[in-house]
A and B are shown apart, each in its own frame.
Chain A
């Protein structure tokens, strides 16, 4: 240790002149404005000076402490003394690192102390743990790079060409394995400190290790030193690249059974294929949220990438096909870079293939997909346009722009020939135009209109003959007034008002039932009620749900048995406080609490989102639920028993 300190001390004394130079740089933002250069009186000028001088110091000292002495034949002086190799290595490198740090600090003290600028930077803000980690890594990297370069240059050997070739190969490997590396190293995003503080550390540590091996093995032999440094450095860098890529590859091999925490799932209307998104179990994988098409009975699956890359899929009516859009090139503008993928779920194994679209989606709004009833075409719905594509070719059959308005949800396939769509014709008015569109050629025929309040969403019966409109209005002139909600029933084709289902409610949600009746949840001052209405809106039954200020319909598990969310139950669920779930038998009025679960799809408030055909009551999709601790469950509507399909139980 004494030798290490002596060697380090000599290096510091040799270069001490740079320290007063750093102080001079530190005074520059204070002095320069007084000499007429006003713009120089900015903290960023001072910071730039610190960084620049620090980098220069790191490169200069890193280049000369070992490499320079080796080239000049002076390293033998220390190796001829009873000094361990690591004292020589650590003494010289530590002096370089310390000098660089001192230079940075000295170049900062004057202008920081003088609080230059209107928004002065404080040492405390810069030298907190993340800042210190970043600065330390940067210093080590600069010193290491300068040292490696000096060793390579000083050896005067052909190994330099090999180094350059390996550098190109490594950079190419970095680029080629980019996605794998991102997946393999993504866990750093979830560390306590910002990830950019760590990015330079692996390379800095590899350089450090290589320099140690170089000093131990090469000693005073310049060529052997270069060989040792290069062999160690490239071994570590390629091994590191391979390891991170391997971890990333392993992440991407995750199957549905590897999901520890299911975020949400949605099922095909009448089949047992489902779309599942979740986090992979395991410490390193816990951030990774892959997406699958999964068949619960057989365990067959198709990988669809990760959440956020694609739209939720649409399933064909027979459950044998699925379609989704994936954006693979985000350099293109928004969704216009999306590619259509079609999954053939009937084949063994199930397959996924890309289908080029005749007309790309529009860039700005997220598209929604829906299969035509025959499965031979696909509708792509966006606010600005509806487009129909032939399958399996992807050729566009027609496109229907929204003109001055926008298309709104829902879109209903009436039969194999026609669909019904709704268009808000003018964003300044409250008029919704009802349009029938011929699937063959896209010809449109307006069939009716309805007037709604400022905020409204629609829900259609499966056959399209009835339309529910939930509307919300904020009373004008009353600053603290709560918005009032109402629900109305309309003729599905003409939009004619058939009846007012709820008025002046605090909140309302309604959904058609499989038998044509209507389930309506209404919140008033006295609490929440579930009302079962006939086809024409006449009330058949009213069930008191309790003193809740929020309630949502969560689907019909089987005919006449509804799932409700009582209390604040937001879309993305993680066991929210105050959210209760319940099964309600509309005939008997019996309410059975179902603690700790929510519908598996994120549309707890099924008033939002167009998902194509909703799960048929009694199908797997209608009974898919998610526990608050991340398990995907099948809930038996009669007995209430829960069958775990995917995911692990976590401690509460």
Chain B
């Protein structure tokens, strides 16, 4: 897109998504700088997953422009996905393949692949390597998806509610060990989550979606300093004022 700022890894301009007559996203704009941890918050049905699907080039918006590393993800999806790791909200790996087989498959789908690194991460998350994906627990499935998303060393990691349904230990592992570790390495992270306490200490920037629009977008520190409240209370107050989607 013309006028894109070079250090913006991800940019959205006036994005509108409709499902029939229902408007899921209405002229949404945001930008994610390189190396940042960007949290997109919103209630259920706010449009977070729709935005992510548009970012990944899997869904075409009704209007607006998107940029992933400076290019339209719809037109240049394969090239963009080589630099992006994705952890979807619902794990969608082929159910009959084991974690090990999934790593082999992904190795054939990516130009570069750190099979040993994937295996090591799976071992750390205590995921059995040869059990079919469909027989793993929810947390284990999430761990597999995360390991697969990191296998090719992405510059941008997009996580769609990665802690949904996880217990406290697993949640801490995702936020602390993964996101924190990646942020330290300079990997850009774009995460949507309902776990406000978990992301509060990690995110550099936060946006809140309500009614299909971005009702707040600010640096996390500045936001907390302004409100002098925990993020959860800020979210409740903002979403309550603007109306839920």
Contact = CB atoms under 8 A, between A and B. Distances in A.
A593 interface: no
A193 interface: no
A83 B59 contact: no
A84 B53 CA distance: 16
A82 B110 contact: yes
A80 B83 CA distance: 11
Interface string A211-233: 00000010111001000000000
Contacts of B88: 76, 80
Given A79-B57, A80-B81, A81-B81, A10 B109 contact: no
Contacts of B105: 6, 10
B219 to A, nearest CB: 29
Contact of B108 (A6, A76, A77, A80): A6
A83 B78 contact: yes
Contact of B109 (A3, A220, A224): A3
Interface string B28-64: 0000000000000000000000000100111110000
Nearest to B59: A221
A6 B109 contact: yes
Interface string A65-89: 0000000011111111111110000
B108 A14 contact: no
Interface stretch (B92-100, B186-194, B209-217): B92-100
B109 A82 contact: yes
B78 A84 contact: yes
A236 B109 CA distance: 33
A77 B93 contact: yes
A2 B104 CA distance: 13
A147 B88 CA distance: 26
Contact of A77 (B53, B94, B110): B94
Contacts of A82: 78-82, 109-111
Contacts, number: 70
Given A79-B56, A79-B57, A82-B78, A74 B109 contact: no
Nearest to A157: B20
| Residue of A14, A217, A219 with most partner-chain B CB within 10 A | A219
A81 B109 contact: yes
Interface in B175-224: none
B13 interface: no
Interface in B107-129: 108-111
B86 interface: yes
Nearest to B97: A10
Interface in A319-365: none
A274 B106 CA distance: 77
B60 A224 contact: yes
A48 B95 CA distance: 34
A76 to B, nearest CB: 5
B183 to A, nearest CB: 21
A370 to B, nearest CB: 73
B171 interface: no
Contacts of A81: 81, 106, 109-110
B58 A14 contact: no
Contacts of B138: none
B109 A14 contact: no
Contacts of A76: 53, 56, 58, 88, 92
| Residue of B81, B90, B92 with most partner-chain A CB within 10 A | B92
A81 B86 CA distance: 9
Given A10-B94, A79-B77, A84-B78, A219 B109 contact: no
A5 B108 CA distance: 9
A378 to B, nearest CB: 68
Given A14-B96, A76-B88, A221 B58 contact: yes
| Residue of A79, A84, A224 with most partner-chain B CB within 10 A | A79
B109 A83 contact: yes
A220 B53 contact: yes
| Residue of A7, A83, A224 with most partner-chain B CB within 10 A | A83
A163 to B, nearest CB: 18
A3 B108 contact: yes
B59 to A, nearest CB: 5
Contact of A73 (B80, B92, B94): B92
Contacts of A2: 108
B59 A219 contact: yes
9 contacts: A10-B105, A14-B94, A77-B94, A79-B58, A82-B82, A217-B60, A220-B59, A221-B60, A224-B59
Interface of A: 2-3, 5-7, 10, 14, 73-85, 217, 219-221, 224
- 3 A-B pairs with the lowest CB-CB distances in the bound complex, closest first: A6-B108, A82-B82, A80-B86
